[in-house]
Amino acid sequence: MSIFKLLLAASALVLVSACSTQGRFIVPEGSKLYLADRPEAVEIEADGTVTTAAFGWESMGVPPEKGIKYRLEKDGQTVQEGRLRPVLRVKALFLPPIFGIIMVPTGLNPNITYDLVTGKQE
């Protein structure tokens, strides 16, 4: 019985940890991007791609009141804050109910560029 519980827990951990999202960003030179009040900055690849863990229900909605929170820092000072347009991760809707509660349904929109220099999200 304990092996079954261990396998079940490992499967749930893999399922939750595999929930990632990607978006494309343009940020000011020398700045660091923080998403959703997370303590560590995201890594921005040379082409502007950011891959990060998906976001919870609190990030769902349309900016400026709702959306994924972001913060730009330069030299340890916050230079810009705001919210990003999210997208509903459809695969979250097809999980069994218990996983649907745990699942993080909000992600970055892979079909747009988040230009934080000009403020456009298109």
- 70-107 per-position pLDDT tens digit: 999 999 999 999 999 999 877 666 665 655 556 667 89
Decide: pTM greater than 0.75.
yes
Pick from 12, 57, 44: nearest CA to 116: 44
Q: Distance between alpha carbon 56 and the CA centroid of its chain, in Å? A: 9
- Quick check: is 32 in a domain? yes
- CA atoms of 9 and 104, how far apart (whole Å): 18
Number of domain units in the chain: 1
Residue 116 CB burial class (10 angstroms; 0-12, 13-18, ≥19): buried
Domain coverage including residue 111:
20-121
Percent of the chain with pLDDT over 90: 55
Report yes or no on 56 lying in a domain: yes
Confidence bin at 42 (pLDDT 50/70/90): very high
In a domain, 15, yes or no: no
pLDDT for residue 14 is more than 50: no
The SS3 of residue 35 is strand
Instruction: Say what the pLDDT of residue 101 is.
Output: 54
Query: Do residues 85 and 106 touch, judged by C-beta distance below 8 A?
Result: no
